[in-house]
Structure 1
Amino acid sequence: MSQPLVSVRDLVIGAVTDSGREVEIIRHVSFDIQPGEIVALIGESGSGKTTIALSLMGHCRPGCSINGGSIQLGAQDVTKLTEPQRARLRGTEVSYIPQSAAAAFNPSQRIMDQVIEITDIHNLMPRPEAEAKAVELFRALALPEPDSIGQRYPHQVSGGQLQRLSAAMALIGDPQLVIFDEPTTALDVTTQIEVLRAFRSVMQGSGMAGVYVSHDLAVVAQVADRIIVLKEGQIQEVGMTRDILDAPQHPYTQELLAAFKPVPFASVKSPVAKAEAPILEVNNLSAGYGPTRSGEAEFKVLDNINFQMERGTNLGVIGESGSGKSTLARAVAGILPRYKGDVFSQGEALSPDLKDRSKDQLRRLQIVFQLADTALNPAQPIDSILSRPLKFYHGMTGKARERRVIELLDMVQLPAAMRHRLPGELSGGQKQRVNFARALAAEPDLILCDEITSALDTVVAAAMLDLLKDLQRDLGLSYMFISHDLSTVEAICDDVLVMLKGELVESLPAAQMNESAEHPYSRLLISSVPKLDPDWLANLEHNPELAKAMQGR
């Protein structure tokens, strides 16, 4: 075997807690990466994936430090370099592709200026040569209009295109090692395919090595040669990708694989429910953004949407980014007033604008947003966040309200003591549970769940789905589930709506999506869900039906 490009030995990374206590968050980790090899670091949130990956660049997050071991990158020990020496490595020897490309780009500068910036910082080549090389990368990454896309601003390209442009930014300095930090987590399934295909093509053609940080095993299966399984800062198992997926040895790896496929769930429709008015009925709903002119919004998003839900059932809404899924949830909730159509809850008409709805109408229909980080006030303790709806909807005060806050935390399986903490002191999964508890405080009949598991790792997301199922059985709730994760929709929903460019193209039973889908776009979405098979992406490229659907969408 050739000399490793990266050799990590006995790595220890420490952190200082808020109370000043020193703890080890990465504990004696050792592994090698060969030239041209892509190694995946997998594990749930807090396992140390990103911390280890960043350390390969000599970088630690605030409050953390490398306290032991060595990181050999080529001929240099990164742990022994000064910060200026490490800065010279970044972009040339090792580069980084972030999870959120939108956060990596300056919105006020053209894309080309940002992609080639590293060549100017390190004096790698003249600008005309750098621009020509960038265009070559744009073409290799299958970006549209590669000769001119660099003249656009970041907001003028899609999320998937921006993620590939961030890859071009990382690759232009010809690094030996590229770190991919969950670069497809926020992308819908069809966009994810395009990005994965582009990444794999460029990496195979260049011979660069890669570290792929992810909690999505199906994505890892398409790009990684080898997998390192992490938990609480320690390696649990290492193996070739196919061996790990087909025959995991460690119980924790087996748990990760089991969590990847949530157990399908069908809600129980009571005979009474069928005789009742639907929990939600939407007729000819159209909505958009900007001022209303001639009876339509300036920027129309939803066009003539019709569906209904029975009490106690769950409805999934799927589609690519920009298909109108979240806009539909906001229009139903009244956050975005519709300009046409009707929305009924249990036979009662709901005003387009939530400010015109009664307190009881607001109480019965709640929405839980995708990002708990932005949905929860960072300056308010959990107790205050949960107390507000209790006072608003039920007039609760004093000891009664305090008892109910504790009950709500117990309902979402969080300890009572957590009510004294701020959101920033909670993990991603804990924050999303608080986000959900706030909706439960209203005692609703229907909860609109807008991508509530998309930012969570596989194990935490599976636990969240189990919680939703338990609460539905106990409280008789109904859920409308907005998602681009089809396995999640299949696990929680009875029926599924497929949306494309603001229109409803098909309605399907969730349990028979594969067999029942007739519309080409529905088949495209279903075919685009990665499988736990390293050959899946390669086989997909030779699927003529999928290729035709991709061109026609």
Structure 2
Amino acid sequence: MNDTTPLLSVRDLSVHFRSEDGERTAVRHVSFDLARGETLALVGESGSGKSVTALSILKLLPYPPAFHPNGSVLFKGQDLLAASEAELRKVRGNDITMVFQEPMTSLNPVHTIAAQVGEVLRVHRGLGERAARARTLELLAAVGIQNPEKRLDAYPHQLSGGQRQRVMIALALANEPDLLIADEPTTALDVTVQAQILALLKDLQARLGLAILFITHDLGIVRRLADRVCVMTNGEIVESGTVADVFAAPQHPYTRHLLAAEPKGAPPAPEPTAPVVVEADDLKVWFPIKKGFLRRTVDYVKAVDGIDLTVREGQTLGVVGESGSGKTTLGFALLRLISSKGAIRFRGEAIDTRSWAAMRPLRGDMQIVFQDPYGSLSPRMPIGDIIAEGLLVHDRSLDAAARDRKVIGALEEVGLDPASRHRYPHEFSGGQRQRVAIARALVLEPRFLMLDEPTSALDMSVQAQVVDLLRDIQRRRRLAYLFISHDLKVVRALANEVVVMRDGKVVERGPTEDIFRSPREDYTKALIAAAFAMQAAA
């Protein structure tokens, strides 16, 4: 292969899926080239065909029902679509690696981080146990995991969503591949770590000549990282070119729509005397660190360390901070999903001393949208049944027809076709699954909603739609929100007040606009600078 031959050449690629209802076209006649050392971004809204295109390169789609009526994928001159499974195994993980969108479904829940990264290094690089462990430490540090030596023997569920995503990136980079396919690799990461990961990828690219196929909905990242961009919608590439040309003078109406889309507006102002929905005093969640044969407690991880907060009816309290700062743990403690110390009151009633059974009548009024939609949706149930499940528990007076009407209404609220309620989670894109998770929470008409990175998997235009939807629902129902996010642009559009967390403590709090205009703490200044540097890049 000479210097002018592309490393990867996709030609006339189409992807169809067979089902009982016939064939469905997911990708139509897609073509692009990728050279060594180049970054090509595939952008488009959820369901546009970006991930299906990327998965087709390594034949990672389910075959059947997926098949390719036409097209080729040439990597170093070899057509991977025509390659045998044995030939593909030599390419996967060595020459081409992939970072998937949802790390919790990609990491093995019964093996430690050291075992999973070490396995890649032993199988593909031939390293011994000690060398693999040392290299794993280097990789975890390189992708921005704090105190990596303490995370080596952790299991995936013991890490935050952002930390799990960083482990996935470390796994993908372990073998120094020729091509990295990154499917929303910074989705779960806070803005400062996004900047670190992008800098890391650029550094690796410069040193190794790494080619990157970058799939994202974040146009700020595209502008900062990519050389060229392909814009996809309805399974087709409608515009392509250098990033500078496409961003400066977009030709297609869909491209102009994407560039103009971002969360705007301000949250509804709550009444200063509105009833308090949730409040906490001196809330603590400490996880013991046990060592030795007798597993004695030698220290504590202070995930939440003495926090006071109040959320009123019609108010959104934003909680921001880097991954591992304690944001999600705080939310789980308020909902009594994990043990904690300190006073918690819901609508004036103390709930910190209630048993699990005594909390059950309140669960319908206290709902949550999880960060990882695929991990929280049962793969064995159609989405209509998933959304209706809470109604079966909390509103038994409804008959089947009434439940179905509520499910249809919830799907329409989040912008999904009600006819899709008979399909299963794996048949939806990541962004569509997140909307299903939001519909499941809203169908119960709760009084308090914890939103744990609810827009992290959504493209920009859908983010704006979801923010508008949440604000509209809040105005009509006077809902109280605890909004946890690393996307400060979304926080600014939705939250009335902001709490900034670091290492389990609140380092700054106040009205949203005051925090964004005049942050006092250096940590808050760094978060805001990183977030709006990304925005400026777009």
TM-score range, shorter chain: 0.7 to 0.9
- Is the contact between residue 169 and residue 185 of structure 2 (CA under 8 Å) also seen in structure 1? no
Indicate conservation of the 8 Å contact 1:338/1:352, yes or no: no
Pick one of 279, 282, 291 that aligns with 2:280: 282
Cα distance in 2 for partners of 1:195, 1:383 equals: 37
* SS across alignment from 2:174: helix
Show the counterpart of 1:504. 506
Please show how residues 366-381 of structure 1 align to structure 2 within 5 Å. 366-381=367-382
Are the structure 2 counterparts of residues 86 and 510 from structure 1 closer, same or farther at C-alpha, using a change threshold of 3 Å? same
Q: Distance in 2 between matches of 1:534 and 1:253?
A: 18
Query: Aligned residue for 2:9?
Result: 8
Alignment correspondent of 2:226: 224
Alignment of 1:404-415 (within 5 A): 404-415=406-417
Within a 5 Å distance, the mapping from 1:7-406 to structure 2 comes to 8=9, 10-19=11-20, 21-57=22-58, 59-62=60-63, 63-99=65-101, 103=106, 107=111, 109=115, 111-120=117-126, 138=139, 141=142, 152-153=152-153, 155=155, 158-159=163-164, 162-171=167-176, 175-259=177-261, 261-269=262-270, 273-289=271-287, 299-340=301-342, 342-353=343-354, 355=356, 357=358, 361-390=362-391, 392-398=393-399, 399-406=401-408
Indicate the percent of aligned positions where both proteins have the same amino acid. Answer: 33
Deviation readout 1:384-425 (Å, 9 max, x if unpaired):
444454454444232554544444444444455445444445
Larger Rg: 1
Cα offset, 1:219, TM superposition: 1.8
1:448 corresponds to which letter in structure 2? Answer: M
Instruction: Decide whether aligned partners of structure 1 residues 354 and 87 sit closer, same or farther in structure 2, where only a CA change above 3 A counts.
Output: same
Letter in 1 for 2:506: L
Asked if the contact 2:93–2:172 (Cα under 8 Å) also holds between the matched residues in 1, the reply is: no
- What is the count of residue pairs matched by the alignment? 518
Deviation, structure 1 residue 267: 0.7
Judged with a 3 Å threshold, the aligned counterparts in structure 2 of structure 1 residues 302 and 427 are, in CA distance, closer, same or farther, namely: same
Give 1:221's aligned amino acid. Answer: R
Cα distance in structure 1, aligned partners of 2:453 and 2:137: 36
Structure 1 pair 268–29 and aligned structure 2 pair: CA distance change class (3 A): same
2:459 maps to what in 1? 457
Structure 2 CA distance for partners of 1:194 and 1:264, relative to 1, 3 Å? same
Structure 1 CA distance, aligned partners of 2:475 and 2:416? 19
Return the offset for 1:194.
Answer: 1.9
Answer yes or no: is the 8 Å Cα contact 1:42–1:230 preserved in 2: yes
The 1:354/1:411 distance shift into structure 2, 3 A limit, reads: farther
TM-score, normalised relative to structure 2: 0.83
Distance in 1 between residues matched to 2:69 and 2:283, nearest whole Å: 59
Q: CA separation in 2, counterparts of 1:334 and 1:145?
A: 28
**CA contact 2:15–2:25 (8 Å) conserved in 1:** yes
Distance of aligned partners of 1:59 and 1:416 in 2 relative to their CA distance in 1, 3 Å threshold: closer
Asked if 1 retains the 8 angstrom alpha-carbon contact of 2:180 and 2:212, the reply is yes
Task: Give the match for residue 548 of structure 1.
Answer: none
Provide, for residues 27-55 of structure 1, a one-character-per-residue CA deviation record: whole Å limited to 9, x for no partner.
Answer: 11222223322111111222222332344
Looking at structure 1, the residues matched to 124 and 520 of structure 2 have their Cα atoms a distance apart, in angstroms, of 48
* Residue identity matched to 1:85: E
Flag the 1:434–1:225 CA change in 2: closer, same or farther, 3 A: closer
- SS of the residue aligned with 1:53? helix
| Counterpart contact for 2:107–2:168, Cα < 8 Å | no
Verify the 8 A CA contact 2:99 2:169 in the aligned structure 1.
no
**CA 445–276 in structure 1, closer or farther in 2 if over 3 Å, else same:** same
Q: What TM-score do you get using the length of structure 1 for normalisation?
A: 0.81
Is contact 1:334-1:352 (8 Å) kept? no
Distance 1:427 1:127, change over 3 A: closer
Change (3 A) 1:285 1:29: same
Question: How much does 1:476 deviate?
Answer: 2.1
The answer to whether the 8 A contact 1:282-1:344 is kept is yes
How far apart are the structure 1 equivalents of 2:101 and 2:412?
Answer: 33
Using CA pairs under 8 Å that are at least 6 residues apart, name the structure with larger relative contact order, 1 or 2: 2
How many angstroms apart in 1 are the aligned matches of 2:252 and 2:150?
46
Secondary structure class of the residue paired with 2:445: coil
State how far apart, in whole Å, the 2-side matches of 1:459 and 1:479 are: 22
What is the deviation of 1:494?
Answer: 1.0
Matches within 5 A, 1:436-515: 436-515=438-517
Q: CA deviation at 1:20?
A: 6.2
Secondary structure of the residue aligned to 1:263 is coil
Distance of 2:427 and 2:263 partners within structure 1: 28
- 5+ residue gaps, structure 1, are 121-125, 537-553
Q: 1:435 to 1:188 in 2, by over 3 A?
A: same
CA distance in 1, matches of 2:36, 2:377: 44
Most deviating of 436-445 and 472-481: 436-445
Q: Kindly provide the amino acid, as one letter, of the partner of residue 492 in structure 1.
A: L
Counterpart code for 2:477: L
* Alignment CA distance shift 1:73-1:299 (3 Å): closer
